[in-house]
Structure 1
């Protein structure tokens, strides 16, 4: 019964987890690896996760922590992935702006990028973001301010 619940949840939320992972790491192949690792950890802790009351929040926290742990380990520095055009479908809205934002996100340090994605893509509060990242609200606020300032600078340079 628990395995069926897990499979149902993962089937329904994999695309969302992949989008969050892509925004964090800016590479679809690496995002798939992050999601796979996060799903494995989620399965190992499924009893606790399913009883948490906020399964999406639990899964998102696992994913962000997998991403940050990988950043600390330096795996992405040792392996040079090939830069491919994202192969996921995009919305018919302003594609150029979306690509500009993604390019600007790439320039942010890992923790700032995580804060910006959690706060403004996942729509988490400062306190929820701090809980996911295991830091203080003040740290989230400073990373948000610095990250948004860097994004603005990068987007202004793109427009010139």
Structure 2
């Protein structure tokens, strides 16, 4: 009975969790690993997950935490590599803003909590309440992080392309 309930949960939500992880991490293989690890964690804690107000929110929280751990490990590794490969007195160049043209690259630049809120709200279409439940934070924090994340994305991506705007009495406004 428990196995059937978990199997149904897995089949219904695994692809969504993998997509969420991919939007956070940006690497398909790593995202699939995170989704699989999250499902394993949910299975191991199935009694607790079943008692949660929302099983999918519980699983999303696990994905977010696993992604955070993976990102932190990658940052530590990059720092070690930079220290090893950087010559004394060599100055590191700033980000190549011309290369930051797509949303995925812009998302990668956001702090993880902002990125997570933006992805849950605007890519997965969760409500503020669902996002708060998934991340174990308040609705107000979700609103704040999402707003800041969207502002950061606008800054990185620049203004939207100008096209024919709305007209008033036949005259573009």
- Per the normalisation by structure 1, the TM-score is 0.73
Contact 2:57 2:133 in 1 (8 A): no
Larger proportion of helix: 1
- Listed as ranges, the gaps of 5+ residues in structure 1 are 81-98
Q: Distance in 2 between matches of 1:151 and 1:22?
A: 18
CA RMSD of aligned residues (A): 2.6
Greater C-alpha radius of gyration: 2
Q: Distance in 1 between matches of 2:28 and 2:41?
A: 20
Which stretches of structure 1, 4 residues or more, deviate above 4 A after TM superposition?
none
Q: Which of 102, 108, 111 is equivalent to 2:110?
A: 108
Shift of 1:4: 3.0
Q: Distance in 2 between matches of 1:128 and 1:147?
A: 18
Match of 1:41 in 2: 41
Match of 1:140 in 2: 142
Shift of 1:51: 4.2
Q: Distance in 2 between matches of 1:9 and 1:144?
A: 28
Correspondence list, 1:43-82, <5 A: 43-52=43-52, 54-71=54-71, 74-79=72-77
Q: Distance in 2 between matches of 1:112 and 1:67?
A: 13
Q: Distance in 2 between matches of 1:100 and 1:29?
A: 20
- Listed as ranges, the gaps of 5+ residues in structure 2 are 79-100, 162-173
